[in-house]
Chain A
Amino acid sequence: MSALGSVQALLPTATQVGSPAINIAIFAAFVIVTLGIVIRAARNNSSAADFYAGGRAFSGRQNGIAISGDYLSAASFLGIAGAIAINGYDGFLYSIGFLVAWLVALLLVAELLRNTGRFTMADVLSFRLRQRPVRMAAAISTLVVSFFYLLAQMAGAGGLVALLLGIDAKSGQSVVIAVVGAIMIVYVLVGGMKGTTWVQIVKAALLIVGAAVMTVWVLAMFGFSLSALMGEAVNNSTIAGEKLLSPGLQYGKNTTTKIDFLSLGLALVLGTAGLPHVLMRFYTVPSSKQARKSVEWAIWLIGIFYLFTLVLGFGAAALVGPDAIKAAPGKANSAAPLLAFELGGEILLGLISAVAFATILAVVAGLTITASASFAHDVYAQVIKRGKVSADGEVKVARITALVIGFLAIIGGIFANGQNIAFLVALAFAIAASANLPTILYSLFWGRFNTRGALWSIYGGLISAITLIVFSPVVSGKPADPVTGLSPSMITDATVDFHWFPLDNPGIVSIPLGFFLGWLGTVTSKERSSEAKYAEMEVRSLTGAGAEKAVVH
């Protein structure tokens, strides 16, 4: 720690940039405006369809913008820009996996899911299988994925606070995490899905416009030549040099890291269409045609945004420099904010910081509503009460659940603050791809699929992904850093080493396993799923007959 401290002392400009007062003021303005929108949106929040699905009244375009708001989390905005600034091309690889993944959602999942479900992923999975066990499994998987994702966002908030508000003390950061969590709970309780969706839309618009302005600014400084920008990034990267521009800086060390990269690539491309908070967004539109339009908009916005991050990442390397970024409190995550300060001083930094905060707030709200819907609609109403519960009673449980999850997120965020848990997002994608995607695809496309197949696939994918992560180098056993003597694993004590799985990402094993178990469970069970139910599901999924309609107020 002392070595790290002295490095920071040598670089005072990197630890204290901008004016915390401006950052806080802009963020407060965002909170006030969005709270106003949430309260307005909440006037018609009465039914379960209102609370969980925003009355299914959003247009495809609105939902597409909200989806991009959900998806462009702090990890993608700050994380990818930072990864490109430090690891160059290898950072760019992330954004490609994150984008191409949307084609799975577009072609195979979004419309069929919208046509057959009501509120949650489990609605579709349990459509023609035995309700209670399948709902329980789908809900557990939803809660685990959402919670890991949530924790990663909240932990990121702590580092951001240190950088942007100049709050170095852990106690001060904890207060800010609690405030962020409390505002998020208000959004969810007051606004439901409608309010949350509007927060996502506002945030997505700010984020994309902000990134566009910075991108044009950076390009203008290099005569709109990407080649010149990359040349300057290389000149400024004393350690990486020319290697910045080609793959291999992060993943090219040896065969294990290369296979690890394949594993990550698999999890990224197959995970998105299994993320519960993404799937739930397809229920906020009135029809499958609008669900298609949502994904179309999301793909354009997310794709264009990732092209911006390519420029911003290399821009940060060229104008701020990898050494200054690594020395800043938020490490790689501070690349985009530091670039904003370099370009537009305190005001632009304040704007970008506020957007980054808003990002965490909005994504956490979306995750909370997904998790609470899954608990109230699947576990409470269907599994515990066996469907004998009024819609009002269910929404009441959902609100209480949101409160509990919000509270857990605050506690988790405070404990996780400063911990190396960035891998949780990759883990959430791996679980979504191993446990959720196989069952979704099998139930939509395979008539023979049955309850045992679903259970084996969900639990098998979930348990194998988590087990492999626990015994992987991300939790223990990475060689100690020669300078600090600490291991870059989650357990920083280098003498603790219980890993036996060589890869950081479990996807290459757990995803095929999830698909295989779904098949094996199905063919070894005598249960034949009801042909009438499959006929209904197949016809409904393709034609939209009997699909849930928008709420008319």
Chain B
Amino acid sequence: MSSTETDKDGNVTSTYAEVQQSAEFADLRRRFRRFVFPMTALFLAWYFLYVLLAAFAPAFMAIKVFGNINVGLVLGLGQFVSTFAITIIYVRWADREFDPTAERLRAQIEGEGA
């Protein structure tokens, strides 16, 4: 596929190369990367901060917050909370912001009424 073609049903389709060069795809890719790369950096940094504290600052982790609940347990449960939160935020973002554009481009490539 080197240029615009028609598929077997006679619909106009765009090639992958054309779509890759298009402004709409470039925008989609930029928005995707702008979301997932910083988010990945964030959760990895938070995770390794936690792991380093557990390995090298056990005394800090052992400070009691209330009853037998110490800082280590609170931060550990914090990892659960942040993981759940990032999941919710990403799924909401992808459903609302990412899918409509991706779907439009897909239809254009596969020739479904584009």
Contacts and interface: CB of A to CB of B under 8 A. Distances in A.
10 contacts: A92-B76, A93-B54, A97-B51, A245-B68, A247-B61, A248-B58, A252-B55, A258-B56, A269-B44, A307-B80
Interface string A199-236: 00000000000000000000000000111101100100
A108 interface: yes
Given A258-B56, A542-B102, A300 B79 contact: no
Interface in B29-76: 29, 32, 36, 39-40, 43-44, 47-48, 50-52, 54-56, 58, 61-62, 66-70, 72-73, 76
Interface in A145-165: none
B106 A543 contact: yes
B87 A247 contact: no
A132 interface: no
A246 B16 contact: no
A226 B19 CA distance: 55
B43 A247 contact: no
Given A269-B47, A303-B80, A107 B40 contact: yes
Interface of B: 16-17, 19-20, 25, 28-29, 32, 36, 39-40, 43-44, 47-48, 50-52, 54-56, 58, 61-62, 66-70, 72-73, 76, 79-80, 83-84, 86-87, 90-91, 94-95, 99, 102-103, 105-106, 109-110
A252 B69 CA distance: 20
Contacts, number: 153
Contacts of A93: 51, 54, 76
A295 B56 CA distance: 32
A258 B29 CA distance: 40
Given A226-B69, A536-B16, A542-B32, A107 B90 contact: yes
A543 to B, nearest CB: 4
B72 A89 contact: yes
A489 to B, nearest CB: 23
Contacts of A102: 83
Contact of A538 (B29, B39, B51): B29
A414 to B, nearest CB: 37
Interface residues of A, number: 54
Smallest CB-CB A-B distances: 10 pairs? A227-B67, A246-B62, A545-B109, A247-B54, A248-B58, A535-B20, A536-B16, A230-B68, A265-B51, A258-B55
A234 B68 contact: yes
B102 A544 contact: yes
Contacts of A99: 79-80, 83
Given A103-B83, A538-B20, A545-B105, A261 B51 contact: yes
B83 A227 contact: no
B98 to A, nearest CB: 8
A296 interface: yes
Contacts of B110: 545-546
A543 B54 contact: no
B45 to A, nearest CB: 11
B20 A261 contact: no
A96 B87 contact: no
A292 interface: yes
Contact of A106 (B25, B56, B87, B95): B87
